[in-house]
Amino acid sequence: MMEDTDIGETRDNFAWFNKISTRWIDMDVYGHVNNVQYYSFFDSAVAEHLIKYGELDPKNSPVIGLVIETKCTFHKSIPFPAIINVGLRVPRIGKTSVTYEIGLFLNDEVTPAATGYFVHVYVDRSSQKPVEIPKERRKAMQMLLIKN
């Protein structure tokens, strides 16, 4: 685990937050949240935002976002029990893709326990061919847009 004291990120750098409670099942033999769960936290926060603000219907929407690239940098272990505040922001929205940047903040801490990103490419559910991001989804993404 990388104990990075100056990662350059704080809560103020993120546009929207979602709270997730750690669960016993998230733990590994080393006594902290297992690394695979971090990606689940990323995905859950983005999905919740798109369902709430972007009119995403995961089971029926004809256009869906598929993750094509992802990365997570671990700065500090996350224990159980804990509340994780998942911060989201969007640095880039293209015609068919979007990049989300995510920060996992432990309880009320100001600096993140982990940072990462993932890229969604929007495709037609049936053909799996790239398509333009639907306007409702794009509006939800624009809520998270940051200025570089």
pTM of the model: 0.92
Q: Taking the domain 11-142, which CATH number applies?
A: 3.10.129.10
**Residue 148 confidence (pLDDT):** 59
**Residue 6 confidence (pLDDT):** 58
Q: Distance between CA 148 and CA 144 in Å, rounded?
A: 13
**Residue 129 confidence (pLDDT):** 98
Closest by CA to 105, choosing from 80, 86, 81, is: 86
**Residue 147 confidence (pLDDT):** 76
**Which DSSP letter does residue 134 get?**
P
- Give the position of tokens 């750098």: 13
**Cis (ω within 30 of 0) for the bond into 79?**
no
Q: Distance between CA 72 and CA 118 in Å, rounded?
A: 9
pLDDT band at 4, cuts 50/70/90? Answer: very low
pLDDT in tens, 61-108: 999 999 999 999 999 999 999 999 999 999 999 999 999 999 999 999
**Residue 77 confidence (pLDDT):** 95
Mean pLDDT of the 30-35 span? 93
pLDDT in tens, 102-127: 999 999 999 999 999 999 999 999 99
Sheet strands (E) in the chain: 16-21, 63-74, 83-93, 97-106, 114-124
**Residue 67 confidence (pLDDT):** 97
